[in-house]
Amino acid sequence: MQFKIYNTLTRTVEDFEPLVAGKVTLYTCGPTVYNAPHIGNLRSFIFEDVLRRALELFGFSVAHVMNLTDIEDKIIAKVMETGLTLDEVTEPHIEAFFENLDLLHAQRAHHYPRATRYIEPMIAMIETLIERDHAYESDGSVYFRVESFKDYGRLSRVDLSQMRKGERVTSDEYTKDDVRDFVLWKAAKEGEPAWQSPWGQGRPGWHIECSAMARDLLATNIDLHCGGVDNIFPHHENEIAQSECSADGAFARYWVHAEHLLVDSKKMSKSLGNQYLLSDLAERGISARAVRYLFTSVHYRQKLNFTFQSTEQAVAALRRLDEMRTRLARATSKSAEGGGLQELADAFRSAFQATIGDDLNLSGSHGEVFQFVRGVNRELDAGPVSVAGARAVEEAIDFADSVLGTLKAEDWQVGEAAPEDQDGLSAEDVESLIVARAAARSNRDFAEADRLRDELTAAGIVLEDGPSGTTWKRA
């Protein structure tokens, strides 16, 4: 089956073919480690996680690098203000970043290079750019000469003629020849953290770090480069300029960008007070599993509108899935035949793979998941199902979950304050009491069955006995 992805360079969905058959080099722009990541940043990181997992489902072996931007104006201001070292300022935020990734069950990249550890390759790349006349030094800083790269603007399709050109300008307190030029190396101001370079004490610009680290850790020409849509211009445009003017060939063949997350249809911002962290959501009883579900159920090229109602819908959807799996676990007979479930599972696997392989159609993939859940429930309604059939269903769920990472409640039990855990009985406790009650009833031990129902009622659980077994909800 062919994997397809939307390439921002061409603005079309393309067949994905890596440079080396079966192997993918993936570079994703990581966090600026000044704050804990907000849920918008996390949406982008989870999109990248899903992309990598989908490539792996299609049999590719992926080498994944994500940078940590640990040198930047706000970080420097903090160093100056507190007297702490750069690492002391960034370390707690790096830890928070990894903690967030773990909470959301993101796979770790193979490398998380910190910009400050790659100053040498950055300087080398800047020297090459100067040699090739794509960059120039001015007052101890170095700038990329945008006019020297004829393909500048190819990714973002910015209209350079709209940007004023030619005049010598002072911007950001540094002097450059042309307003469109961007900084590769910034001369240090008194007392700032700085590194020695051929142009004096200074520090790298933001864009050069990704170009240099991608080359150092992956290759000069890579397959995939990702980030949020705000990275397209100027960051990714500038990365292309630096990488392609200092070596031959295309920097990345496919550029893939995630749309932004909005809160209540608004941009997240401190002033609106709607900039949530994962910990803010946990305090409101929203589990990381529900957050990951929400992130993975909307197409990455669509804006994701985060609302508290949408998290409730996520919890309800996951509950439907969990209930099906609980029913399946207790409703098997010894018959060896897979029967209807085997067919359903096979059909689901191929439909899921086709949908996820079609430019990561996440909403479509969830449509397939819940159509499968309905089909399995119908089989369960019709009578006992075979052990082999139940196993086929579980294996198909594992297959889809290798990409989605939310489908199995048992993977999310440890250390999580899921909303359903707050009333005293976890979903698992409830399920096992329901199973015990069903067993008591089938043994005609009605006193025990009533006792178990009372125990559940006391914990705020409402049972509904129907033709397809017992379902439950919280009062």
Q: Footprint of ligand AMP on this chain (CB under 6 A)?
A: 29, 31-32, 40-41, 43-44, 69, 227-228, 230-231, 258, 260-261, 268
CA distance linking residue 163 with residue 221, whole number of Å: 29
Secondary structure letter of residue 196 according to DSSP: -
Nearer to Zn ion, 210 or 385 (CB): 210
Nearer to ligand AMP, 69 or 242 (CB): 69
Nearer to ligand AMP, 69 or 197 (CB): 69
Contacts with Zn ion, residue ranges (CB under 5 A): 29, 210
Which entry of Zn ion, ligand AMP, none binds 76, CB below 5 to 8 A by partner kind?
none
Which entry of ligand AMP, Zn ion, none binds 7, CB below 5 to 8 A by partner kind?
none
Nearer to Zn ion, 29 or 187 (CB): 29
CA distance linking residue 423 with residue 475, whole number of Å: 10
CA distance linking residue 325 with residue 108, whole number of Å: 28
The first and second tokens of residue 423, run together, are 């009333």
Q: CB of 213: closest distance to Zn ion in angstroms?
A: 9
Which entry of ligand AMP, Zn ion, none binds 44, CB below 5 to 8 A by partner kind?
ligand AMP
Which entry of ligand AMP, Zn ion, none binds 205, CB below 5 to 8 A by partner kind?
none
CA distance linking residue 197 with residue 348, whole number of Å: 57
Q: CB of 227: closest distance to ligand AMP in angstroms?
A: 4
Which entry of Zn ion, ligand AMP, none binds 261, CB below 5 to 8 A by partner kind?
ligand AMP
Q: CB of 242: closest distance to ligand AMP in angstroms?
A: 18
| Distances from the Cα of 259 to the Cα of 59, 77, 228, 423, 457, angstroms | 26, 30, 6, 36, 44
- Helix 427-442 with 308-330: angle, nearest 10 deg: 40
Nearer to ligand AMP, 185 or 276 (CB): 276
CA distance linking residue 167 with residue 182, whole number of Å: 14
Question: E strands of 16-130, at which residues?
Answer: 23-28, 61-66
Secondary structure letter of residue 189 according to DSSP: P
CA distance linking residue 144 with residue 374, whole number of Å: 57
CA distance linking residue 360 with residue 47, whole number of Å: 9
Amino acid present at 11? R
Tokens 């297959």 sit on residue: 399
Q: Is the bond preceding 234 in cis, omega lying within 30 degrees of 0?
A: yes
Q: CB of 334: closest distance to ligand AMP in angstroms?
A: 50
Identify how many contiguous H helices and E strands the chain contains and give both numbers.
Answer: 14, 18
Nearer to ligand AMP, 18 or 40 (CB): 40
Which entry of Zn ion, ligand AMP, none binds 242, CB below 5 to 8 A by partner kind?
none
Amino acid present at 281? L
CA 348: distance to chain centroid? 24
Which entry of ligand AMP, Zn ion, none binds 210, CB below 5 to 8 A by partner kind?
Zn ion
Which entry of ligand AMP, Zn ion, none binds 41, CB below 5 to 8 A by partner kind?
ligand AMP
- Per the CB < 8 A criterion, the answer to whether 139 and 187 are in contact is yes
- Per the CB < 8 A criterion, the answer to whether 452 and 347 are in contact is no
Nearer to Zn ion, 69 or 287 (CB): 69
Amino acid present at 15? D
Q: CB of 266: closest distance to ligand AMP in angstroms?
A: 11
Residue 459, helix vs strand vs coil? coil
Nearer to Zn ion, 29 or 122 (CB): 29
Which entry of Zn ion, ligand AMP, none binds 389, CB below 5 to 8 A by partner kind?
none
Residue 145, helix vs strand vs coil? coil
Q: CB of 81: closest distance to Zn ion in angstroms?
A: 26
Q: CB of 203: closest distance to ligand AMP in angstroms?
A: 17
Q: CB of 236: closest distance to Zn ion in angstroms?
A: 7
Nearer to ligand AMP, 69 or 116 (CB): 69
Q: CB of 397: closest distance to ligand AMP in angstroms?
A: 28
Which entry of Zn ion, ligand AMP, none binds 211, CB below 5 to 8 A by partner kind?
none
CA distance linking residue 47 with residue 2, whole number of Å: 20
Nearer to ligand AMP, 32 or 406 (CB): 32
Q: CB of 225: closest distance to ligand AMP in angstroms?
A: 11
